[in-house]
Amino acid sequence: MSLAHDARVAVRPAAVTQRPARTWPEINNPAAWIVAVILVVMPLIASGFFLIEIFATTLILGIMALSLMFLAGYGGMVSLMQLTIAGFSAYMVAVFGISGNANISLGWPWWLAVPMALALATAFGTLGGALAVRTEGIYTIMITLAIGAAFYYFTNQNWAIFNGHTGINTVATPHFWGVNWRADIPFYYVVLAVAALCYFAVEYISRAPFGLALQGVRDNPRRMAALGFNVNAHRVAAYAFASFIAALAGVLQVWNYRQISPGSVSVGACIDVLIIAVVGGITRPIGPFIGALIFVLLRTFALDFLVRLGLDGNRFRLLIGLGFLAIVFWSSDGVIGLWQRWRQSQRSRDDRQGGGRGHG
């Protein structure tokens, strides 16, 4: 406590104000509970195809986009290397763990290979972040894109560790307690648990000193320095945290497909993560998951839809691109922004109707 407040408090006694508890906004939101219940009972309603190809894939992509949302939404740093960090983590699981490429994989059990992969990928992302924080705006995008592109070409050409363009196949997945954790239903729950953990961690940290300070750095880095914060250290720490989240997604991804190859870490895939985050909305952690669901649904079903219209099914990216344009054009906050504006217009219409009656 400073003497400064004490002195003025004496002039103007401060009543001890009761702050509203900084609790979870979701607790009072019935829609959040409904979504949570649906996600938990999903294996009862959805087939194996839907469970894995749609929902598990959505959640994995959502976690990757969440790591970008944390950096871009709270820190104002648009990083295009979040998929690269996830891919690096996936490669490390394959390299340290067990796979069909016995000449490369070291054969460690998953419970050793996974922490190793997470640690290395987090270190990789933190180093990349330490480079990127020396720049701002478009240059951050360029540096992280360069890291992503370099990693893609490196995996293509390096045979000793990354096995070139064929990648690493038939990666082993965990079996323990008599459960095959890559079987559809157990794997869905593993992915759901990790996604929920990441979501709530980001949500929680956004109101903790670290997250608040990050938002301060986003709004006004110079003032943050004039308040005693080491702005660059804060940014690098944000990269470290986001890298860990992306690394978790990478582990899930390599277990999902049981293989990892340069195609999964291509520049196009890096940009997909940006599109997912922006379409969903980068102002809140739920946005990336909404964006990922839209992306996966389009990718899966646009083919049939386009073929029925007599177009080439591979043009699903055309739909995504048009959707992206529409979102960026009409709502800078993505789908969440559209939803919030719709809610607001409903509310103000109700107010107006109420006011009209009052005057009558």
Partner 1 sequence: MDSVAQRLSAVGAGAALELRGVTRLFGALAALTDVTITVRPGERRAVLGSNGAGKTTLFNCITGDFAPSSGTIRFFGEDVTHFPPYERIRRGLRRTYQISALFPGLTVQDNVYLACRGVSRGRFSFLRPGQNDALMHAADNLVQAVHLSAVKDQRVAELAHGQQRQLEIALALAGAPRFVLFDEPAAGLSPTERAELIEILTSLPAHIGYIIIEHDMDVALRVVESVTMMHNGRVFKEGLPQEIESDPEVQELYLGGGHE
* 93/308 Cα distance (integer angstroms): 41
**Min CB(240)–partner 1 separation in Å:** 10
Structure tokens that stand for 210 in this block: 């670290």
Structure tokens that stand for 160 in this block: 């000793």
**Min CB(213)–partner 1 separation in Å:** 6
**Min CB(345)–partner 1 separation in Å:** 19
| CB distance 42 to 188 below 8 Å | yes
- Residues in contact with 327: Cβ distance below 8 Å, sequence separation at least 6, in sequence order: 278, 279, 334, 335, 338
The residue among 226 and 309 lying less far from partner 1, judged by its C-beta, is: 226
**Min CB(278)–partner 1 separation in Å:** 18
Cβ-based burial of 111 (10 A; exposed 0-12, middle 13-18, buried ≥19): exposed
Enumerate binding residues for partner 1 (CB under 8 A). Answer: 1-9, 11-12, 14, 16-17, 19-22, 204-205, 207-210, 212-213, 215-216, 218-220, 222-231, 234, 237
The residue among 191 and 238 lying less far from partner 1, judged by its C-beta, is: 238
The residue among 244 and 324 lying less far from partner 1, judged by its C-beta, is: 244
The residue among 74 and 96 lying less far from partner 1, judged by its C-beta, is: 74
Structure tokens that stand for 179 in this block: 């459960």
Beta bridge partners of 175: 180
The residue among 22 and 357 lying less far from partner 1, judged by its C-beta, is: 22
**Min CB(244)–partner 1 separation in Å:** 12
Structure tokens that stand for 119 in this block: 């640690």
The residue among 83 and 202 lying less far from partner 1, judged by its C-beta, is: 202
DSSP secondary structure string for all residues of 290-358: HHHHHHHHHHHHHHHHHHHTTS-GGGHHHHHHHHHHHHHHH-TTHHHHHHHHHHHHHHHHHHHHHHHHH
**Min CB(13)–partner 1 separation in Å:** 9
